[in-house]
Structures are given as structure tokens and as C-alpha cells.
């Protein structure tokens, strides 16, 4: 197979990621569709998202910017900056999850029970939608930390862009997904 022809093919890791992201989009489309249908029930309890959810949104957007810088620095072989930006992105992802958890606690403290006995379907939907998104962010943070460990490893000197590009694509995906969910939850609820 000629090199030019081989370069036109998508890498199997990238293809797998795109299939997974398509599945995730379908899952969240189902969640948000069910949310819209259930919202018309008589026992639906409307509420506003606490301000901490706005802060978490800003944090995840900033983390996408640090990921853009990290990928650019990887391609430029500026590995010191790449390592720092990947670590910063992982830390921002962790901060996003902490802020989300604080948001859940704020809702609980304001009488919006999210799960269990006495919970309302509206709070439970928020818990499922944001919780499943947080699980995907956690997976992204774990992947970023693995990338950081590899970048700091003396034994690993691989400069294949595939891993960095896959991590960046996934990270931007969870960022865009949260922006969609945040807009949906603030506009529809």
C-alpha cells in the first residue's frame, strides 16, 4: 500500500473514538428527549441551576483551551509546555467535577432531592444527565493522567500524534457536550 493512500485512511483509534462519540451523542439525545417528555408531568418541580454550574462551565471551556495549547506544543515538540498543559487540563477537568458536585450539594441543601426516597423526577433527571457526563469527564481525566505519566516517563519517547489527537478530540467532545447540556438545562427546565 502506498504511503499516500495509507495516510488517507483514518487511524483505528480515531475511528473507534468517533463511533464511541456517536453512541454517547445518541445516549444524551435520549436523555434530553426523555427530559422534555417528562417535564410535562404534573409532579415536575422546576428549579434554576446554582451559580456554581456556571463556574464549572467556564472551567471546562478553559480546559479545552489548555488542551488546544497542549496539542499544538506536542506537534511543535515543545514537550515541557505540552506536559504542563496536559497536567493543567487534567486538573481543570478535576475542578469541573468538584464544582459539579458542589452544585449537586447546593441543590440538595435547597430542598431539591436528586435521588432516592422523596426525590423529584426533575432532580433525578439532572442527576442522571450531569452524573453520566461527569463519568465521561472522569474517563477523560484518567486518559489525560495516563498521557501525562507517559510524557514524564524517561523510558517513553514516542512522538506519535495519534494518542494526543485522540485525547484532544475526546476532551473537546466532553466540553461541547457539557455546553449543550448546560444550555439545555438552563433553557428547558
* Closest to 123 (Cα-Cα) out of 187, 189, 36, 182: 189
Examine residue 108 and state whether it is found in any structural domain, yes or no. Answer: yes
Q: How far apart are CA 43 and CA 136, in angstroms?
A: 30
List per-residue pLDDT tens for the chain, 189 residues long.
455 555 678 777 788 888 888 999 999 999 999 989 888 888 788 888 999 999 999 999 999 999 999 999 988 988 889 999 999 999 999 999 999 999 999 998 888 888 888 878 888 888 899 999 999 999 999 999 988 888 777 665 666 777 888 899 999 999 999 999 999 999 886
Cα distance between residue 95 and residue 103, in whole Å = 12
Give the DSSP letter of residue 48: P
Handedness of CA 108, 114, 117, 121 (dihedral sign): positive
Whether residue 13 is contained in a domain is answered as no
Q: Which residues, 6 or more positions from 26, have their beta carbon under 8 angstroms from its beta carbon?
A: none
Write down the pLDDT at residue 46.
81
Domain count, the chain: 1
Q: Which domain holds residue 72?
A: 50-188
| Cβ-contact 169, 14 below 8 angstroms | yes
How big is the chain by its Cα radius of gyration, in Å? 19
- Of 96, 63, 80, 76, which Cα lies nearest the Cα of 168? 63
Instruction: Output the pLDDT for position 176.
Output: 96
Q: Is 31 within the bounds of a domain?
A: no
Burial 40-58 (b: 16+ CB within 10 A, else e): eeeeeeeeebbebbebbbe
DSSP state at residue 155: S
155 occurs within a structural domain:
yes
The verdict on residue 18 lying in a domain is no
Does a structural domain hold residue 63? yes
Q: What is the CATH number of the domain that holds 100?
A: 1.20.120.80
Tell whether 22 is covered by a domain. no
Q: Is residue 44 part of a domain?
A: no
Amino acid at each position: 500500500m502506498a504511503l499516500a493512500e495509507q495516510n488517507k485512511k483514518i487511524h483505528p483509534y480515531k475511528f473507534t473514538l468517533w463511533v464511541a462519540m456517536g453512541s454517547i451523542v445518541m445516549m444524551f439525545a435520549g436523555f434530553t428527549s426523555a427530559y422534555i417528555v417528562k417535564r410535562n408531568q404534573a409532579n415536575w418541580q422546576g428549579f434554576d441551576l446554582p451559580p456554581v454550574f456556571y463556574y464549572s462551565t467556564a472551567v471546562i471551556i478553559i480546559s479545552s483551551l489548555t488542551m488546544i495549547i497542549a496539542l499544538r506544543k506536542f506537534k511543535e515538540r515543545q514537550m515541557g509546555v505540552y506536559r504542563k498543559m496536559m497536567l493543567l487540563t487534567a486538573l481543570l477537568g478535576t475542578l469541573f467535577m468538584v464544582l459539579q458536585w458542589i452544585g449537586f450539594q447546593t441543590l440538595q441543601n435547597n430542598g431539591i432531592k436528586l435521588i432516592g426516597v422523596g426525590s423529584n423526577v426533575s432532580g433525578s433527571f439532572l442527576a442522571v444527565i450531569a452524573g453520566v457526563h461527569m463519568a465521561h469527564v472522569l474517563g477523560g481525566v484518567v486518559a489525560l493522567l495516563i498521557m501525562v505519566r507517559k510524557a514524564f516517563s524517561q523510558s517513553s519517547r514516542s512522538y506519535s500524534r495519534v494518542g494526543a489527537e485522540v485525547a484532544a478530540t475526546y476532551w473537546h467532545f466532553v466540553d461541547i457536550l457539557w455546553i449543550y447540556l448546560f444550555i439545555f438545562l438552563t433553557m428547558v427546565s
